[in-house]
Structure 1
Amino acid sequence: MRADAIEDWLSGDYATGDWGGVRTQLEEAGITPEAAYTTDMMAVRNGNAGSGDGWDYAGRIDFGINFDFEKLAGIPGFSLYTSGAWSSGHNLSDRQVGNMFAVQQIYTGREVRLSEMYLQQQLLEDRLSFKVGRLTTENDFISSDIYTNYVNGGINGTPANIPGGNFGFTTAPFAQWGVVAAGEPVNGLRLAAGVYNANEHSVDDTRNGVDFDLDPGDGVLAIGEIGYSWNQPAEEEAAETTTAAAEAHQPTEYEPAEGDTSGLATLPGMLKVGGWLYESGDREDIKDGGNKNGNPGLYISLQQMVYEEPDGKGQGLTPWMVVTYMPRQSINENPVFFGGGLVYKGLIPTRDDDNTALGFFYGNLSKDLQPGGSEKVFEMAYTVQVTPWFYVRPDIQLVFDPAGVSSADTAIVGGGEIGIVF
């Protein structure tokens, strides 16, 4: 292989390259395939379950394909997307750590499953969109790319207490029947609303994502969100990826702000406020085991870059925080969640696309649980962006009061994550 060919491969977006030009030809025709692999290999000392010491592997292959019918059949803004996943490995939190927030965010069972499968129509120059089909809720609500800098499942990819308390709120690779409408009436302002079925069995390993039952009696999740972002990267450089692993791979170039380039007024930030209503007769009361209806909740998230290096390119420091609250403690084991952290892009000179991340996650357990209490996790991670399609993320987590047990030892978890986009 010639030196220039190797350089092109290492600087490209995919580990498998352009397939001799076939990938580009497919995309130009309206067919975009995708695949990615992520693995978390973590070890624990002083865990609160099993022997308390040990290690586990968890991994997932995500794959999908998008059909753009504007290119395929001349239907403007219309597309079909479908995806799947092959999950493997074990859950170290269950086997050794004995805590609430999974120390391996990528663990999602051990099976091959269908994930999303939906139709999408975009209108008004993509300012208005509608999706219907099998949908993953986190792809449209509360999630943020900044959360993907962590290995702990408390925050990657959404605050863990929301899907934990709502059958209708799904995270990758799980999905429910649903419909979502989203609009951007003015630049930076996004309004979104969604309604999802709440079939509690849709995430079962034995169903492989093909339990297509649609029964309103299972419950309905209705959710809405108002988001506002400012000074964001240029649209062509900040396009969202679809697979879970790909989100952390694509370095983003920032568009220089016009006019005054000093102070927070020119730096990117984002605010999201949302809430949901959930009605079902299948939520089990923690105290008496009976069924309860209704599980509302709300959330707010904020991130704001506070320092950008003089040469721009989006390098600098971004603090973030998120709070979620579900008031009905009788049916929510973790009604209150707080997460916050710092992410610095390009901290080490010559490593412009690497991310250094510190995070703190707090989960308050229901007062109806014994012993109650709260779990706290402190995490330090460093993402080495080896190529645009390959990263390595060394990671350390300290788990305080695992599962709210104040008498338990602080669990020390270390290891890392590897991701490849094919």
Structure 2
Amino acid sequence: MGALLASSGSAVHADTGGSIEHTPSTLFTLQSALNLPDWMQLQVAISAQPLFNPVGGLVPTGTWVQQTSVELELNSGLARDVAQWKELDHWALNLNGNHTTGNFSYANEIGAIFPLQSASYPTAFWLTETTLERQAGNGRVNVKGGILPVNPDFMEAPILNFYVHSSLNNTLNIESNDFPINPYSAVGGVVNLQIQNDLNLRAGLFDLNTTFSSFPLSSFQGFQANVGGAGNGTLQMVQLDYTGSGLAPSTGTPIRACSQNRALVRSYPRCTAPTTVANQLPGGLLSIGAYNSTDPQTGDGIYGSLTLKTRLPIGLADRVWVGASYSPNTNVDFAPVFVGGGLVVQGLVPKRPLDVVVFGIGRGGLSNPAQPNFTSSYEGMAELGYMVMLSETVQLQPTLQWIFNPSGTNQPVPGILAAGLQISLNF
């Protein structure tokens, strides 16, 4: 069918099996525009998150936050098949820088504890990663070290990246002091051991004395020391990941669908017009981890998450997830307990096979010893969103959030309804 563009922003063409394959189109990449060599890989991602609260909170107001991330990998192995790698091809230099801007205090202004936007960080330039890595290739051990954050190697489940609220997005709402969570980082190293094809054990060591202080670029945009400061001692992390196909198909596995009256529905045995759709959802994951620190202000804790497919007859494919984290250090950790879960569905609208609907709900337990001015023992959050997949380059995601028991002030605050839009650009 040539290069016909579908209504979902996808390129539609015949696959080798004679069916129609729906894949997202790419409008522009810096890699091709700059004609970079094969051993250099450059990616730029921009996420803007305007948000306002028409109902509830201390004051009805709005804000805008934005994060720009630049990633560069230098590796001669990028140009060769892994089976043909020589020793030099295993080695890579990874660089990552972030620029954040906007009002990162929005949650406090409306009476909430947890930021309603995942990009709510102090306005600054952050040198988030500078690492030398020996990639496993066809081996079983991957090692990297330098300046780096704890995530995405630890705590992060890919399914969480669909959410806008900070408690549902990224790191299971772990709020321990001095934690080098992206865009913050620290000097450290990570070792990953592939026990089996679908089972990985990862261990990391981070120097908390260098957290927030390893990047002079941050001072260029007025980063203030009282927002965060270096800790003391070291942080040790360990995590076990299971990614068996029985949990859910991998992202690279196309979704089987059936074409009916110019719309797509879930595949069924007697379908007369089978087709496939590019899978936007992550694979299955069971992740369990723990951390321990010699810094009494950081402490220790455990966390875990589970992502798997369901048999719900909605959309073309789906993932359900649950996650939790716990820290016994209630005297220093103001949010020692978190539980959450959600549902992510691709192709809920029959003529938009690449769009994704997200729903999530979470509860962050609060510690009175750490923060005596809390008005309740927890703050909850629910999020409903719809990601419009215009292309691999551009995605728009309207979001609607409800905050239960806002507790960021010493006076009772009614629930908060917030609405906004996440604009994602990937080059």
TM-score, normalized by the shorter chain, greater than 0.5: yes
Q: Distance in 1 between matches of 2:232 and 2:88?
A: 35
Q: Distance in 2 between matches of 1:365 and 1:81?
A: 37
1 or 2, which has the higher helix percentage? Answer: 1
| Residues 18 and 149 (structure 1), Cα distance of their counterparts in 2 relative to 1, 3 Å cut | closer
Q: Distance in 1 between matches of 2:248 and 2:40?
A: 26
> Residue type of the partner of 2:68?
I
Given the alignment of the two structures, is residue 195 of structure 1 paired with residue 205 of structure 2, yes or no? yes
| Residues 181 and 201 (structure 1), Cα distance of their counterparts in 2 relative to 1, 3 Å cut | closer
Q: TM-score, normalised by structure 2?
A: 0.77
- DSSP-derived class of the 2:379 partner: strand
- Which residue is 1:39 aligned to? 48
Counterpart contact for 2:127–2:215, Cα < 8 Å = no
Q: Among residues 380, 393, 399, which one is paired with 1:376 in the alignment?
A: 380
Counterpart contact for 1:356–1:383, Cα < 8 Å = yes
Q: Distance in 1 between matches of 2:403 and 2:105?
A: 13
- Which residue is 1:407 aligned to? 412
Given the alignment of the two structures, is residue 227 of structure 1 paired with residue 237 of structure 2, yes or no? no
Deviating more after overlay: 52-61 vs 193-202: 193-202
Q: Among residues 106, 114, 119, which one is paired with 1:93 in the alignment?
A: 106
- DSSP-derived class of the 2:135 partner: strand
Deviations along 1:280-323, one digit per CA (max 9) or x if unpaired, are 15x2xxxxxxxxxx61100121111013779xxx9322211111
- Which residue is 1:323 aligned to? 324
- DSSP-derived class of the 1:340 partner: strand
- Which residue is 2:75 aligned to? 68
Q: Distance in 2 between matches of 1:149 and 1:60?
A: 15
- DSSP-derived class of the 1:165 partner: coil
- Which residue is 1:277 aligned to? 292
**How many equivalent pairs are there?**
371
Counterpart contact for 2:378–2:407, Cα < 8 Å = yes
Q: Which 5+ residue runs of structure 2 have no aligned equivalent?
A: 12-23, 80-85, 224-229, 258-267, 270-281
Given the alignment of the two structures, is residue 335 of structure 1 paired with residue 336 of structure 2, yes or no? yes
Counterpart contact for 2:186–2:214, Cα < 8 Å = no
- Which residue is 1:184 aligned to? 194
> Residue type of the partner of 1:39?
A
Give how far 1:407 is off: 3.2
- Which residue is 1:398 aligned to? 402
Counterpart contact for 1:81–1:118, Cα < 8 Å = yes
Q: Distance in 1 between matches of 2:318 and 2:385?
A: 15
What does 1:23-422 align with in structure 2 at a 5 Å threshold? 23=35, 26=37, 28=38, 30-49=39-58, 52-70=59-77, 75-91=88-104, 93-94=106-107, 96-123=109-136, 125-160=138-173, 162=174, 164-167=175-178, 169-199=179-209, 202=212, 208=218, 218-231=232-245, 238=252, 253=254, 269-280=284-295, 283=297, 295-307=299-311, 315-368=316-369, 369-370=371-372, 371=374, 372-403=376-407, 407-422=412-427
> Residue type of the partner of 2:176?
G
Deviating more after overlay: 137-146 vs 189-198: 137-146
> Residue type of the partner of 1:180?
V
| Cα RMSD for the two superposed structures | 3.4
Give how far 1:389 is off: 1.4
Q: Distance in 2 between matches of 1:205 and 1:95?
A: 27
Give how far 1:96 is off: 3.1
Q: Which 5+ residue runs of structure 1 have no aligned equivalent?
A: 239-251, 284-293
Counterpart contact for 1:47–1:98, Cα < 8 Å = no
> Residue type of the partner of 2:288?
V
